[in-house]
Amino acid sequence: MSFEPKILGIACNWCTYTGADLAGTTRLKYPQNLRLIRVMCSSRINPSFIIRGFQLGADGVLVGGCHPGDCHYGTGNLYARRKLAITRKILEFAGMEPGRFRVEWISASEGNKFAEVVGEFTNQVRTLGPQTKFKITKDGQ
């Protein structure tokens, strides 16, 4: 059987999650590898969520938020951008493949973009193969 990656998606309620909703209601097709978690704002994302995601078996993590300047709370995604940028550098320096982590700004009207990004990212992670570096392998975890 070919490898099917598990993708953890963390999406902001106001833009990306609504964009995903739009992709659904307009019946766009995108891979079912994505497990989407909704948060109220991309700045709510603690970088430990991403590390924990990888530890619990995610092969890739996709973070979605509003376009800079479009945040529902004004400036949340501007803080998030700094946090996620440094998270990316930390993952890279620890030895994680940079292709397994991606941040995209997707607005509520961009259902097409959502489907495209998920498709593209899933293919990218599929070519990278299973993520084994951070994954917890011992029993009972």
Shortest gap between Cβ of 91 and other proteins (angstroms)?
A: 8
DSSP letters along 16-27, please? HHHHHHHHHHTT
Least Å distance, CB 89 to other proteins, is 4
* Of residues 24 and 99, the one with the C-beta less far from other proteins: 99
Q: Per rule CB under 8 A, is residue 119 in the interface with other proteins? A: no
Nearest CA-CA partner of 43 in 20, 92, 10: 10
Strands (E), the chain: 7-12, 34-39, 60-65, 101-105
User: Shortest Cβ distance from residue 123 to other proteins (Å)?
Assistant: 19
Nearer to other proteins, 4 or 55 (CB): 55
Confirm or reject binding of residue 136 to other proteins (CB under 8 A): yes
Name which of 33 and 131 has its Cβ closer to other proteins: 131
Q: Which residues of 68-104 are buried (b: 16+ CB within 10 A; e: fewer)?
A: eeebeeeebbeebbeebeebbeebeeeebbeebbbbb
Question: Within positions 49 to 108, which residues make up the interface with other proteins, using CB under 8 A?
Answer: 51-52, 55, 68, 75, 78-79, 81-97, 103, 105
Minimum Å distance from CB 76 to other proteins? 10
**Contacts with other proteins, residue ranges (CB under 8 A):** 47-48, 51-52, 55, 68, 75, 78-79, 81-97, 103, 105, 133-134, 136, 138, 141
